[in-house]
Every structure is written in structure tokens, then in C-alpha cells.
Amino acid sequence: MSAAPPAGDVDRTGRAAVVEAARRRTFAVISHPDAGKSTLTEALALHARVIGQAGAVHGKAGRRGTVSDWMDMEKARGISITSAALQFEYRDAVINLLDTPGHADFSEDTYRVLTAVDAAVMLVDAAKGLETQTMKLFAVCKHRGIPIVTVVNKWDRPGKDALELMDEIAERTGLTPTPLTWPVGIAGDFRGVLDRRDGTFRRFTRTAGGATIAPEEQLTAAEATARQGEVWTQAVEEAELLEATGAEHDQESFLGGVTTPVLFASAVSNFGVGALLDTLVDLAPAPTGRPDADGAVRDLAEPFSAFVFKVQSGMDAAHRDRLAYIRICSGVFERGMVVTHGRTGRPFATKYAQQVFGRERESVDVAYPGDVVGLVNASALGVGDTLFTERPVAFPLLTTFAPEHFAVVRSRDTAKHKQFRKGIEQLDSEGVVQVLRSDRRGDGSPVLAVVGPMQFEVATHRMEHEFHAPVALDRLPYNLAMRTDEESLPMIASSGGVEVVRRPSGELLALFPDKWALRILQQRHPRATLEPLVAAQLA
């Protein structure tokens, strides 16, 4: 590795890291499927003028597919099944926006993304309110102390009463909602919003298909009364009721996870999206020092450090490369620098570093804490790995979820054995599936383990279209995995309907069809080691 830079250069680098980190806003969008996450992602990029025209997921009215949903399966289904990282500048800030998978079957990928952000936007469907997946992801944010900005989306469609939604948010999350804007017009009749910070009316005008930024007109209260009449008066009365109950924004309470600022919007029409961007720049926290595995904080000004939160291949069909996403935690990243790979202790060259905008990428020469950088052809890197220069650091590991669905995978073409093996190894390293080996089945028929069954669909699709190795899946009758050891194998073998498999790390798992089979084995062999797998421990 290269020699350490002179002390003066270290000081300048540290100062640059702190100054630039203050400009960063790194956040994720979380919600239940079909709440409009990918549409909102595009609308934010549109309002930042990074793109000239938004694209609907289903391409209605001649609009393109969304930038962030680039896989064929995503376009066909209209949902996100991979996380996407978008970076752009807005005002004097640098926005790192991480879009997350919408389907519950891919919650493990979402959980990993949430380890790499400093804030979250919780998207709530105006008609459906807080749904199951939203609440699960909210719990993760709460566990990690991630401040949350709430956006009530689809206010241009019929939905619940606004005050009713505020009560639901308070009751189910425990957060006090503090609306920054309030809708003028009931759900389905979205005229604009009352800006509670200055009492003005922000009136929206629809555009064709919502493909461009919706024109916005700011009116005084008197002008709004004259134009909107009773609808405006009702919005003012409800805003006064909120004020009387103390639903006012307080920055310390927001950052402390006590309150959540609320905005009303229609992402598909680009209504209220600009206000969200401004809110994120004004209120969302900038990156701060990150605790290491021992709880000590790695300050922003310390030498470079980062961790890998996602690995993705198949984004560039022409080059068939592999991209490792890293979140920079401290110091300054410079393309070409040689860093230390924490897991192996070996040097790692960063010659091919890129910033990512959906499927579009460009080389990045320098990046700062809070930024997300893609390292190309980083075959040595895995999810959770730490990179650093000079003073070593190890950030908390990102452990895998307990799988609930299992299937044997076989190549449908024996001549494609090499491609089959490479593809399976790739999917395992990315965390798309967990690959388990069984003495009963041999190396040619590994067992795939997943949290949700749609992961099987992604795996088979990518094996055929990316690795050109079509596969056949045979589902196995198990839905419960328990950690075991070598000493317990004879006891487990004596019970029917149970199978033992091995993780790449060597760890043994016993697979059971249900909890009753597990209970019977425990009763017969109380000395057998059967420990539940720990759900993801979040960094």
C-alpha cells in the first residue's frame, strides 16, 4: 500500500470530509408494495431537474419505464425487486436516494439498504393508510434510530380523511405527526396544500400524464379564500386544530424519533414533490460518525472507511460486470486509491468506481461521507465487508435472515455446468438466495433458501437470461431452519422428514417441515443442538 500522506494533507482531507458531509442527505424510501415508491423516486429526480421527463412504471400515456426499475421483471410486474441508488444535486445539497424493493419477499435487501441511510421517507397510501410492510420497515427504522419524514401519497385519488390518517400514524407508530403542509380539498379533489409554515396556499396545476413538473402558484390566504372558498376555509380550520393539539415541528424531536413531519402529495402527478425535496434538504440529518463493531465512533474526519451493503450483477449486459455498493463513512474516497479489505486484510484497488443513477453510470473521481459509490468487478467483496485506509476499523456485520422456503436447483442443460456453477455462486454472493449444500444431493444439486418465494423467480430468471444456464426448481417441504452441530447429526438422522444442509461457512442447518416436527425431535432428543437462526442484526 502507498505511504501515509503528510499530516497537513490528512488535516485538509479531514476538513474536506466534514465540510462535504454536511452537504449530503442520504435517505431511503420505504412503504408497502404499490404505494408509489419508484414513481416518487422519479418525481424527485424530475424536480431536481436531473431528468427531463418522468416515466410511469407501466408506461401509460406514452411515458417511459421508471429509471430506477430497470430489470425486465420489474418492468413487467410494476414493482421494485432490487434496490437502486440515485445521486443528484439539489440546491446546495448532494442527494443520495436509495430506492428499495417494494415486495415483502425482498425485505432482506431493504433491511440492508436501511443500514446505509441517515433518514427515511415513509410513503403512505392515502386510501390504505399504514400497511403491513410499511410497519415492518418502520420498526427497522425505529430500531436504528432513523428519523422519518412521512408522505401521504395519492391524494389525487379517493382516500381516507386527513385527520383520520394523522390519528392512525400516531396510534400505530407512536410518532407524533407534525404536518408541514395540509391538503386543500379532500382525497380525490387535490387543489394544492396549505403551507403551515407561512399560511400560504400552494396551488398545483396538472400536466399531461404528470410527465413534467406540475406548475405551482403561491397565493396569500386572502387570495386562496377568494378562489377556493369553503374548501380553503376547511383546510384552515383543520390546520388550526392541529396547532391547538401541539402538532408543530420541532427539529430535536424529529431527529430523536419522537415526531414525524408530514407532507401531502401525488407523486404520479408531481404534486407536492418539490416540498419534499426542500424538506429533506432543510430538515433531514447530514452524515455523522458511524459506530464500529465495538461501539466506538469512526469520526467523519478520520481516514477513509466504508462498508458494502449490496452487491449486484447483470446491470450492464454488454460488460457482464459486478457492482458492489459501498456507503462511505469517513474520510475522502478517491478513485484509484488502494484500500484494505477488512475481512481478508488484503489491499483492494478502486480503479473502477462509479456513481449510479438507476442503470446509468459514470466514473466518480472523489466522494465523501454519506455518498454511495459502486465498485465495478469487485468479486472479492461481499455484503457487510469493511474497507479502510490507515487506521483499521470493522463495522457491524449484516447477518442474513432466517429462510422460510427451500428448493433444490438443477441445471436443465448438462453442457452448461460451468455457467450453472458460476451463476449459483454469484446469486449467493449477492444475497439474492442462500445456497446450501447437502450430502444427500451432492454439489450438482444445491438447495436454495429464501425469505420469500418471489426470490426463486428472480433466481431462475437471472440464471436463464444473465448466465444462460436454465434451471429447474423442485420445492422442498420445509419452512423452518434451525442451527445444529456435528454431534447432533445422529440424533437428527433418526427422525424422518428432517434434512441437514451446510452453509458455505460450514454452519449446519436442520430443516423441518413445521414447528411440530421440531418439537417432536426436541422431545425425543433433548440434548440435540437446535438453535433458532437470528433474524438480521442491523448495523
Q: Is 100 annotated as a binding residue?
A: yes
List the one residue out of 298, 291, 305, 299 whose CA is nearest residue 342: 305
- CA dist 220 and 226 (Å) reads 10
- Unique residue bearing C-alpha cell 484494505: 340
- CA dist 285 and 257 (Å) reads 12
Q: Is 101 annotated as a binding residue?
A: yes
Q: Is 103 annotated as a binding residue?
A: yes
Report how far apart the first and last C-alpha atoms of the chain are (Å, whole number). Answer: 28
- CA dist 57 and 45 (Å) reads 15
- CA dist 297 and 290 (Å) reads 5
Q: Is 115 annotated as a binding residue?
A: no
List the one residue out of 211, 229, 221, 112 whose CA is nearest residue 538: 112
- CA dist 354 and 329 (Å) reads 17
Q: What angle do CA 16, 18, 22 make, to 5 degrees?
A: 115
Provide the 8-state DSSP code for 180.
S
The backbone torsions φ and ψ at residue 269, rounded to the nearest 5 degrees and listed phi first, read -100, 0
- CA dist 178 and 166 (Å) reads 9
Residue pair 151/40 in contact (Cβ under 8 Å)? The answer is yes
Q: Which helix (H) or strand (E) holds 253?
A: helix 251-255
Residue-wise DSSP of 91-119: TTEEEEEEE---SGGGHHHHHHHHTT-SE
Instruction: Outline where DSSP puts E strands in 112-208.
Output: 119-125, 148-153, 176-179, 181-184, 192-195, 200-204
* Sign of the four-CA dihedral 401, 402, 405, 410: positive
Residue pair 114/120 in contact (Cβ under 8 Å)? The answer is yes
Percent helix, percent strand, percent coil in the chain, to nearest 5: 30, 30, 40
List the one residue out of 428, 425, 412 whose CA is nearest residue 469: 412
Q: Is 102 annotated as a binding residue?
A: yes
* Sign of the four-CA dihedral 385, 387, 388, 389: positive
Provide the 8-state DSSP code for 264.
E
- Residues belonging to the binding site are 99-103
- Residues belonging to the binding site for GTP are 99-103
